[in-house]
Amino acid sequence: MSALFFLAAAVLALVFTPVSKLLAYRIGAVDKPDGRRIHTSPVPRLGGVAMYAAFWLVALPLVWENNVARGLFCGSTILLITGVCDDARGMSALPKLLCQICAAAVPFAFGLKVEQIVLPGSVAVPLGVWGYLFALIWIVGLINTVNLCDGMDGLAAGICCMAALIMAWSAYRIDQLTAAALMLILAGVALGFLFYNFHPASVFMGDSGAMFLGYILGGVSLMGTLKTTTVISLFFPLLVLGVPLIDISFAVLRRALTGKPIAAADKGHLHHRLLDSGCSQRQAVVVLYALSFLFCMAAVLMVNQFWLPAILLVGLNLTVITTIIFRRFRVVFYKK
């Protein structure tokens, strides 16, 4: 049954994405090249509509059975409308953030909550009302983490596909079957969309797609892999999404040190630095895929208490990422 969820989502994403491209041209949601963009010709950027439709059509039986899934459906609809407006006409940072907060809060009315955190030694710390604030920050943070990651053909879709598969495995381990199924559906949607989005991309997911991916990852992780709310379970999704989280952290620090607004766009992200080092777009994406895969494997090792190999993998990744950040990464590849 789980494999059918994954396959159905991938097939529907394959079918719906060309339709979303036509819609993008109709409403003017087209990404045109400029000084910051990597692509050189206009590309439709409304892939999020296809991803949303494919995901919820496959997840419909789960929405029918699960209150929190209904909340995620309602919240993601708010976020989709926000993303489409931003993709088509543009939206400033503050209104977009307010819409993200509103969407993140919707599942609370359907039963989503984090009541406590269990520290090492089985010490439970009740969160009370702070649990809602934690959940809000968690979901909004992952929305913007994935959105920031969407800067190169196939990058966000590929990383989110890997993350969703690993989080599905984690949810199955603790018998959170609804959460696991939703993660498999999300992985299928991301994989199906990647068929059109890998370089050279014929369509971008846009803010509508990137925010949707981040929202579902954030919301489902709270209903599934974070159900036990232990420190390790809190760390698991952060490690799985290690590459975009490090990228966004470095971007915030970089902009703060240079006096630029936090939401300002620039060309200092990891993928930009890989391109500067001599990588092609495909090679840069593959490098970041590899780093993400190693973070995922470190998360799996950590959950199974293989601490030393997990720490070594994380250390290796951090070394490579630091090398990229400080522009000490050089490659000599044959480029066609």
Rounded to 5°, the CA angle 71-114-236 comes to 100
Structure tokens at 225: 């892999």
Task: Tell me what pLDDT residue 139 has.
Answer: 94
Q: Are 203 and 17 in contact (CB under 8 A)?
A: yes
- pLDDT of 332 reads 40
263-294 residues labelled b (16+ CB within 10 A) or e (exposed)? eeeeebbbbbbbbebebbbbbbbebbbebbbb
Token couple for 300: 């799996």
Q: Quickly count helices (H) and strands (E) in the chain.
A: 13, 4
**pTM of the complete model:** 0.90
Question: CA 137, CA 103: separation in Å to the nearest integer?
Answer: 12
pLDDT of residue 3: 81
Query: Tens place of pLDDT for every residue, the chain, 336 residues?
Result: 578 999 999 999 999 999 999 999 999 888 876 655 555 678 999 999 999 999 999 999 999 889 999 999 999 999 999 999 999 988 888 999 999 999 999 999 998 888 777 666 566 777 778 888 988 999 999 999 998 888 889 999 999 999 999 999 988 888 888 999 999 999 999 999 999 999 889 999 999 999 999 999 999 988 854 445 555 566 777 888 889 888 888 888 887 777 777 766 777 788 888 888 888 889 999 999 999 999 999 988 988 888 899 999 999 999 999 888 876 544 444 343
323: part of which helix (H) or strand (E)?
helix 307-325
- Beta carbons of 55 and 185 less than 8 angstroms apart: yes
Domain coordinates in residue numbering, the chain: 2-242
> What is the rounded distance in angstroms from the CA atom of residue 143 to the CA atom of residue 215?
5
User: Residue 257 — φ and ψ, nearest 5°?
Assistant: -70, -30
HSE at residue 193, side-chain half, CA atoms within 13 A, is: 36
Instruction: Determine whether 198 is exposed, middle or buried from the number of CB atoms within 10 Å of its CB (0-12, 13-18, 19+).
Output: middle
| Residues 37, 51, 20: CA angle, nearest 5 degrees | 70
DSSP secondary structure code for residue 305 in this structure: T
